[in-house]
Amino acid sequence: MQSMTRKEAHEIAQILKETYPGLEPFLHAKNPFESLVATILSAQTTDRQVNKVTPALFAAYPDPEALSRAAEEEVMDYIRSIGFFRTKARNIILTAQKLVGDFGGKVPNTMEELMSLPGVGRKTANVVLANSFGQASMPVDTHVFRVSNRLGLSRSKNPEECEQDLRKILEEESWNYFHLSIIQHGRDICSARSPKCEICPLRDHCRYLDSLKKEGPSC
């Protein structure tokens, strides 16, 4: 497989930006606390489903102090329609308690501090840093991981390696919008099972499509 150049990576980022203009964070949040909680809830659940449950959840628990005092069963009732709701209810309550106890009720703005919170991994921390604090970050979810490897931007075996590959090959100022646009591309065109290669604006840059052409039609 031919190696991807920084110039070609920049071209891919530009095509994605032009193809998906005006994207906003997919999870609805008014502040860092809401962004953090919504992102914890989004693990293995669609953003659309999370956005359905968070308005009532945040109306009941508008800040870390309120959520830190919540009963687990009550929180579960608000988020019962999303995956792993029991574990997530426990995690967001514990996170709120840690925010109150260790961070003065505020969401921290460093990777290390965010990852010290229950239910917060590297992807969640990156999302909060990008969406709430405007820091250049590269969250890698299933769409980013799949599409980046298909394009040849990464040859990684896991999301953390993929993140480092993307950080190296893409210009830092493009990171935050790139991750939104490549997620949208993964949803709209470069799906896991039936990618729409025939209409893909990145077909001239795609290593996955190149490999299919070389294999030729199957018998």
**pLDDT tens-place string over residues 16-45:** 999 999 999 999 999 999 999 999 999 999
Among candidate residues 101, 134, 100, 98, the one with its CA nearest the CA of residue 116: 98
Q: What is the pTM of this model?
A: 0.92
Q: Annotated catalytic sites, by residue?
A: 123, 141
Q: Residue 169: CB partners within 8 Å, gap ≥ 6?
A: 4, 6, 9, 153
Domain locations in the chain?
6-23+139-214, 32-133
Mind listing the pLDDT tens digit for each residue in 128-146?
A: 999 999 999 999 999 999 9
The mean pLDDT value for 167-175 works out to 97
CATH superfamily to which 32-133 belongs: Hypothetical protein; domain 2 (1.10.340.30)
> In this structure, how many other beta carbons lie within 10 angstroms of the beta carbon of residue 5?
10
Residue 2's pLDDT band, with cuts at 50, 70 and 90, is low
**Longest pairwise C-alpha distance within the chain:** 65
User: Is the separation of the CB atoms in 25 and 131 below 8 Å?
Assistant: yes
Which CATH code is given to the segment(s) 6-23+139-214? Answer: 1.10.1670.10
Mean pLDDT of the chain: 94
By the 10 Å C-beta count (0-12 exposed, 13-18 middle, 19+ buried), 57 is classed as buried
Dist. CA 186–CA 92, nearest whole Å? 28
